[in-house]
Structure formats: C-alpha cells, structure tokens
Amino acid sequence: MSSQPTKPQSTIKRSEIWYHDGTVVLQAQNTQFRVYFGFLAQHSAFFRDLQSLPQPLDQPAVDGCPIVELPDTVTDVEYLLKAVHSPLHYRSPLVGALIRLGRKYDFQELFNSAVERLAFENPTTFEGVDALLSTSLEYVPKRIIPYSGILFDIVTLARENNILSVLPCAYYRMVIKHTPERLFDGHPRDDGTIASLALLDLRRCIVGRDKLMKARFEPGYTLGWLKNWDHGLDCTDAPELHSGTGRSSAVLYKLSLDF
C-alpha cells in the first residue's frame, strides 16, 4: 500500500474501468480505477502479497476502498486491467503493456501470453517465417492487430524487455520494409506520435541492411550473376561481349548497393 498522500481530489479523474462494488482503487498518474482486489490477487503474486499486508490507519480510501498508487502510465494500467477482466481484448499496444506490467507485477499468465504473441510474429527459423508469408508476399501480423509504426515498436519492446529471440526477425522486417531515411526519421503512428529506434537498434539495422544488400551478389543468391563479370565467354566475340557485360554488371552492382 502506498503511504504517499494522494493528489488533491480536484485533479483526479475516474476511469471507465470502475466497478461500483469493487474493493480496491488503483491510481496511475491522475486517473483512478476501481476493481476487485481478490481478482487481481488471483492472477498476480504481487497483488496477492499486497492484499495480505495490514492497512495503515491513515490509508487513503475512496468509499471505503483503499487506494493503491502505481508509478505507471494510465495507458499501461488500463490495458492491463482490460486484459485481466476481458482476456479477448488484445490490441497491439496491449502486448507491450502486458509485457512491462505483467513482469513487474507478476501477472505470469498474461506476460507469457503477450510474449508468445510477440514470438509467433517473429519466428526464429526460416520455416516459421515462410509459414507467415504463405498467404501473402507482404507480412501482416496475425496475432497482434497492426498499426502504423508497429515494426519500430516491436523492436524497441523486445530489446527493452530482453526478449532477444524476437530481434533477428524484427530487424530483418525493418530493413526490407523501410528505407534508410525512414529508419533514421522514424514512422508516424496513428495518434501523431513518432515511432523511432534507439541508437543501438538503428545501428544494427543499418549495418544489417548493408550486409543483406551485399549478400544478394554472392554465388547462389538472387543477383549473384551480376558480380561474376570476370568469367570469359565461349564464343568468338567473347572479348567484346565480356567487356560490355562487365561494365553493365558493375554499374548495376553499385546501384543495387546504393538502393
């Protein structure tokens, strides 16, 4: 239980998540949520331990319900509570909220569910990636509702929460989907904010993109034939043809690296 004094009542807002027979009020920033303490305790070891603690005499309360102040954003807390009370409520920002707060407050099932969705969308095998692309050449998330800037946010979410197995596929999607300019500038979200990469992620994407561009010209890859302009031709006009082909291939090779 928080012993910090609550903010003046005039600054407090009541959330849409407000059960009139609820037994605890959670407060994030200037917004309160009235929910069931026992229900939270059923899903979270953190709230189970919190419920067992004796309440101080000066515990702030609303209609007899103790107030628990959380140092989290209103948005994250709202998504967490919606997931607890309505498990089918799974929009894309919710996955991030469940990973952050699910780990912090030990909502283990919700945390595992969110990580599983993130892992499903970012396989660790070529077969897994091919399966996701089996119905369309362009990747469309299947267990996370997409939105503008989602690829940027997935990279940031996975790295900040040490879900490292997700990153190779997430980085790959970034570099084949976005130009270098977009990687540097970020991507506008639907709400007007900009989804951007941390410097570490940006560097990995740029370096990885350069390696992918060059790998296309290695033997056995799509454009491998462009780099093999030094091989002779078995015909009487070989010197002339070879010279022209070599110059053309060299130009195409350089242009592709600049793509």
Of 112, 30, 144, 35, the C-alpha closest to 81 is 35
Higher per-residue pLDDT: 226 or 39? 39
Q: Calculate mean pLDDT across residues 126-141.
A: 72
Q: Which pLDDT does position 252 carry in this prediction?
A: 44
Residue 235 lies in a domain: yes
Residue 238: pLDDT band by 50, 70, 90 thresholds?
very low
Residue 64 lies in a domain: no
Q: Which pLDDT does position 244 carry in this prediction?
A: 45
The separation between the first and the last C-alpha atoms of the chain, rounded to the nearest angstrom, is: 56
How far apart (Å, rounded) are the C-alpha atoms in residues 172 and 168? 6
Name the packing angle between helices 92-104 and 74-85 (round to 10°): 90
- Residue 162 reports pLDDT greater than 70: yes
Residue 241 lies in a domain: yes
> Which region, left, alpha or beta, applies to residue 107 given φ > 0 means left and ψ of -120 to 50 means alpha?
beta
Residue 96 lies in a domain: no
- Residue 131 reports pLDDT greater than 90: no
Q: Which pLDDT does position 226 carry in this prediction?
A: 59
Q: Residues 170, 122: contact at Cβ < 8 Å? A: yes
Residue 253 lies in a domain: yes
Q: Provide the domain limits for residue 222.
A: 216-257
Q: Residues 32, 11: contact at Cβ < 8 Å? A: no
Residue 237 lies in a domain: yes
Q: Which pLDDT does position 3 carry in this prediction?
A: 47
Residue 56 lies in a domain: no
> Which region, left, alpha or beta, applies to residue 65 given φ > 0 means left and ψ of -120 to 50 means alpha?
beta
- Residue 235 reports pLDDT greater than 60: no
Q: Residues 188, 229: contact at Cβ < 8 Å? A: no
Residue 230 lies in a domain: yes
Q: Which pLDDT does position 254 carry in this prediction?
A: 47
Number of domains comprising the chain: 1
Helix, strand, coil % (nearest 5) of the chain?
Answer: 55, 10, 35
How far apart (Å, rounded) are the C-alpha atoms in residues 78 and 86? 12
